[in-house]
Structures are given as structure tokens and as C-alpha cells.
């Protein structure tokens, strides 16, 4: 695989947004369901002058045709006495929007983890086509709103290789991290990637946080052979599964059933029951060597679970105040 590192200046000195992502899959039916697929990131703590954290940015280019991942690394300003724990966050652009200076100050005063935001080299909050490819270990084939069969996904192994072989070494060059305290957080398809990483390369991280995982993907394939193989040959790890109360109850709010895209999406997510993540937590809790925590967030649906789960993760891993209800 061809890959190279593209250096960039510190983001608070230069806002280096790129208008379009390169070499991604065609728009998938799942991607079309994002409420606002063109929402921009705007200003975040990544663009602000350093206070308790300073941020560095680099871009990884890999593959033929080339694709680009933008990675922002947050390093506590105060000098660390020992290697720091590190949190890798998927959907890095959206994750950065969750943070503010007060949260960063709280983190710096406690465990002071290194923060790694893995996103795409553009100014979109969520890059649906790109994440659909990267975050899924299974190819999904389903009919779109026009009744045309579409296939998407299946790039998780290649993306994990990019993280392991390209992103982690560059992070470790820029920050002093404890490689025995590495955590991975992801939401939705990102939560699915967290699980497939646990199942296939369980030593890549020590803590796995899967929020609202899309277990319906590929007609429920994530609940099949890969999970069963891992359970039969487990590796010790800490696992958090998080789910919104409205997700578990199947309350998806008011949907326009006259919209073919909505109907197609609802048909696809029928590949798993709404409480599938809760059921998975029970199965994994019985596996020797796994420490499994399930947390449900009353009244929250799928979208609001992104910020809530990330804030809860910071509290669970690093001892800061839990602001998931804010």
C-alpha cells in the first residue's frame, strides 16, 4: 500500500480545510440518512491558541487512488512526568466539536491523556461515504430508494492498518504515550469499527468504547462469525457498550414514510433488533478476561449519543466530571 505523511502547520495558525475528500465510495443508502450531510465543522478547540492543551496536525495519504486522513493530536501543555494514556477518536472532526476549553482544562488536571482525533481531510463534520468504507468490516448490499441494489463498505481491515502502521507511529513521535493505556472510541459505524477491531486485533488497544454500534449492518453480520470466533478465543480487554434509551426502545421519532430514502434506511436497519447492543453486552460479559460495562442513556436517540457517549468516555477513562447530560 502506498502511503505518505503530509506535514501541515498547527491548526490554530492555519485552518487547512479541504473542500472534498479523495477516492471514496459512492454515496451509500446509509450515508444518505445523515440529517445534514453537508454540515461543516466550524471553529473548534483545534483552531484556538493553546491553553491546557496544544494541538498538532498531520495528514496521512494512502492507497491508489490516494485517500487522505487528517489527524489532530492534543498534547497537555504541562510536561508529563510519565508516559500518558492516549484516546483515539473516530469521526475526528465531529469529536472535536464536543470539546471546549473547560473540558480540556479538567482533563489536563486529571489523567492528562493525549487526545487523537482521526478525521478526513476536509471541513465536513461527518464524511459519510468515507466512514462507510473505513468503519465496516463487512460489505453491505441493499436496495436504495430507487430499488437499485447498492454495495458499500468492507474497508475496516485496510483502515486499521493505516491506524496501526501510519497514524500511531506518528502520534508516538509527537507525544509521549503509554502504549499499555490505549483507548479507542467510536459512534454508530465508528462503534462497529471498535467492535471489529476488538474481534480481529484485540491487542491493538486496551480499552474499547463502542457507542450505538450499527449492528444491523450487512443484515446483522456483525453478530455472526466474527463475534463468535472472538468469544471462542478471547483476549483480555476493557469494553464499554453505550446505547441511547430511545434507540433500545426502537423510538426513532417522527419519520416521513413517504420519503423513499427513509423507507429504504428503515428496511436496512431491520438487520438487528433495537436492543442488539444490550444483548451483545450480555454475551461479552460472560467471556473470561473481558471487563464489560454497559451504559444506557435515558431519552437519547442515535444522533445525540455521539456527544453524550464521548463525554461519558472521558469521565469513565480519566476521572473527569461526567458532562454527558449537558
Q: Which residues have C-beta within 8 Å of that of residue 13, sequence separation ≥ 6?
A: none
Q: Which residues have C-beta within 8 Å of that of residue 5, sequence separation ≥ 6?
A: 58, 59, 60, 61, 166, 170
Q: Using CA atoms, how far apart are residues 204 and 206, in angstroms rounded to an integer?
A: 7
Cβ(239)–Cβ(292) below 8 Å: yes
Q: Which of 188, 214, 281, 309 is catalytic?
A: 188
Residue with cell 449492528: 215
Q: Which of 210, 247, 265, 324 is catalytic?
A: 247
DSSP conformational letter for 31: G
User: In angstroms, how far is the first alpha carbon of the chain from the final one?
Assistant: 43
Task: Give the cell for residue 112.
Answer: 492528562
Q: Which residues have C-beta within 8 Å of that of residue 79, sequence separation ≥ 6?
A: none
Per the annotation, the verdict on 302 as an active-site residue is yes
Per the annotation, the verdict on 188 as an active-site residue is yes
Task: Give the cell for residue 182.
Answer: 490505549
| 225 phi and psi angles, rounded to 5 deg | -60, -40
Q: Using CA atoms, how far apart are residues 160 and 169, in angstroms rounded to an integer?
A: 13
Residue with cell 491558541: 49
Residue ranges of the alpha helices (H) in the chain?
92-96, 101-109, 128-134, 156-162, 168-174, 189-200, 217-220, 225-232, 245-249, 260-268, 276-285, 305-318
Q: Which of 210, 218, 302, 309 is catalytic?
A: 302
Please state, as a whole number, how many other Cβ atoms lie within 10 Å of the Cβ of residue 183: 23
Cβ(154)–Cβ(133) below 8 Å: yes
Q: Which residues have C-beta within 8 Å of that of residue 275, sequence separation ≥ 6?
A: 243, 248
Task: Give the cell for residue 253.
Answer: 421519532
Catalytic center residues = 188, 247, 302
Amino acid at each position: 500500500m502506498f502511503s505518505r505523511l503530509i506535514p501541515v502547520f498547527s491548526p490554530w495558525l492555519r485552518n487547512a480545510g479541504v473542500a472534498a475528500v479523495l477516492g471514496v465510495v459512492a454515496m451509500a443508502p446509509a450515508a444518505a440518512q445523515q440529517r445534514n450531510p453537508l454540515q461543516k465543522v466550524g471553529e473548534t478547540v483545534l483552531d484556538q491558541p493553546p491553553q491546557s492543551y496544544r494541538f498538532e496536525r498531520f495528514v496521512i495519504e494512502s492507497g491508489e487512488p490516494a485517500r487522505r486522513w487528517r489527524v489532530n493530536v492534543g498534547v497537555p501543555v504541562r510536561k508529563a512526568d510519565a508516559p500518558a494514556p492516549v484516546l483515539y477518536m473516530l469521526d475526528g472532526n465531529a469529536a472535536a466539536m464536543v470539546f471546549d476549553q473547560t473540558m480540556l482544562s479538567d482533563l489536563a488536571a486529571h489523567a492528562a491523556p493525549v487526545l487523537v482525533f482521526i478525521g478526513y481531510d476536509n471541513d465536513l463534520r461527518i464524511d459519510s461515504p468515507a466512514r462507510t468504507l473505513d468503519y465496516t468490516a463487512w460489505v453491505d448490499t441493499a436496495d436504495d430508494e430507487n430499488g437499485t441494489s447498492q454495495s458499500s463498505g468492507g474497508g475496516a481491515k485496510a483502515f486499521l492498518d493505516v491506524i496501526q502502521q501510519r497514524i500511531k507511529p506518528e502520534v508516538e513521535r509527537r507525544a509521549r504515550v503509554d502504549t499499555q493505556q490505549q483507548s479507542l472510541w467510536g459512534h454508530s459505524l465508528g462503534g462497529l469499527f471498535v467492535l471489529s477491531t476488538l474481534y480481529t486485533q484485540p491487542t491493538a488497544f486496551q480499552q474499547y468504547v463502542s457507542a450505538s454500534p450499527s449492528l444491523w449492518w450487512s443484515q446483522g453480520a456483525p453478530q455472526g462469525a466474527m463475534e463468535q470466533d472472538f468469544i471462542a478465543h478471547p483476549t483480555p480487554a476493557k469494553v464499554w457498550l453505550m446505547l441511547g434509551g430511545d434507540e433500545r426502545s426502537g423510538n426513532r421519532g417522527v419519520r416521513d414514510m413517504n420519503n423513499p430514502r427513509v423507507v429504504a434506511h428503515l428496511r436496512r436497519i431491520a438487520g438487528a433488533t433495537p436492543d442488539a447492543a444490550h444483548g451483545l453486552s450480555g454475551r461479552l460479559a460472560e467471556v473470561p478476561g473481558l471487563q464489560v460495562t454497559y451504559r444506557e442513556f435515558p431519552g437519547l436517540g442515535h444522533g445525540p449519543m455521539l456527544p453524550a457517549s464521548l463525554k461519558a468516555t472521558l469521565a469513565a477513562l480519566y476521572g473527569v466530571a461526567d458532562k454527558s447530560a449537558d
